[in-house]
């Protein structure tokens, strides 16, 4: 790992994470409240904090097992959980409790092709990009649908990262994230990584990989600083 230095490297493409990189992450309270609502709607008796964690980590086995034991259709729960999470996040944005970072404006100065790979639901990411006027910036956007088949494709699983690279037509790329899971996903996809360590960003436990030997290629504190990495 090296700190960002002027002209350190040039990449054909830069792929960004969303939450914690482009926009402030959702509050844990909002996501737990949304999970509680989804559980109540389908009649599933479970700890909403534990289920929220399983959803964040893509633990399909645990979630499917909970539904199976109480005769709840897994697909129906996933659909309700996705809808509730979208509404909770939309309200946070509209009420000013969550915002796009100011330094996202620096993306328009990048010469490389830009992509976005998010573990958030495509409905929310599409809404966010349109609301923030960023939907013209990214040549590809890959998100994690909250369905039984796609739920487990959260980073550090590299499948969505590899799909984005295929869309961009290059493997000469840098993945920019704020969690250890992003760094591991980049390693598994065979590309470099940059870890954004924003001041006051929290403890980074959501999306972390316990005991992972994580060593990003670059550490920066903002997207503007990242410009020094890619030239």
User: pTM for this one?
Assistant: 0.90
pLDDT on residue 8:
53
| Residue length of the chain | 231
Q: What is the DSSP letter of 98?
A: S
pLDDT on residue 201:
63
What's the CA gap between 194 and 179, in Å, rounded? 10
Strands 173-177 and 192-196: parallel
pLDDT on residue 191:
98
pLDDT along the chain (231 residues), means of 10: 54 96 96 98 97 96 96 97 97 95 93 96 97 96 96 96 98 96 97 91 46 80 87 69
What's the CA gap between 214 and 196, in Å, rounded? 14
Name the β-bridge partners of 134: none
pLDDT on residue 208:
44
pLDDT on residue 4:
46
pLDDT on residue 205:
41
User: Is the domain 2-25+99-230 a CATH 3.40.50.1000 member?
Assistant: yes
pLDDT on residue 228:
75
Question: Contact at 8 Å (CB) between 152 and 58?
Answer: yes
pLDDT on residue 200:
67
pLDDT on residue 214:
79
| Token couple for 157 | 């699983």
């Amino acid at each position: 790992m090296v700190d960002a230095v002027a002209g350190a490297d040039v990449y054909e493409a830069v792929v960004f994470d969303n939450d914690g990189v482009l926009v402030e992450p959702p509050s844990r309270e909002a996501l737990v409240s949304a999970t509680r609502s989804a559980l109540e709607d389908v009649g599933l008796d479970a700890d909403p904090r534990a289920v929220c964690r399983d959803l964040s980590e893509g633990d399909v086995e645990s979630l499917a097992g909970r539904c199976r034991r109480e005769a709840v259709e897994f697909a129906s729960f996933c659909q309700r959980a996705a809808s509730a999470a979208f509404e909770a996040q939309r309200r946070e944005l509209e009420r000013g409790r969550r915002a796009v970072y100011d330094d996202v404006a620096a993306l328009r100065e990048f010469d490389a092709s830009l992509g976005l790979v998010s573990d958030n639901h495509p409905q929310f990411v599409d809404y966010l990009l349109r609301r923030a006027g960023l939907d013209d910036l990214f040549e590809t956007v890959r998100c994690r649908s909250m369905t039984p088949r796609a739920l487990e494709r959260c980073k550090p699983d590299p499948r969505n990262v590899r799909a984005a690279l295929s869309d961009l037509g290059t493997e000469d790329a840098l993945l920019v994230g704020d969690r250890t899971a992003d760094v591991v996903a980049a390693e598994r996809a065979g590309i470099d990584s940059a870890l954004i360590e924003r001041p006051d960003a929290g403890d980074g436990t959501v999306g972390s990989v316990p005991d992972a030997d994580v060593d990003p290629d670059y550490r920066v504190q903002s997207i503007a600083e990242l410009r020094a990495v890619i030239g």
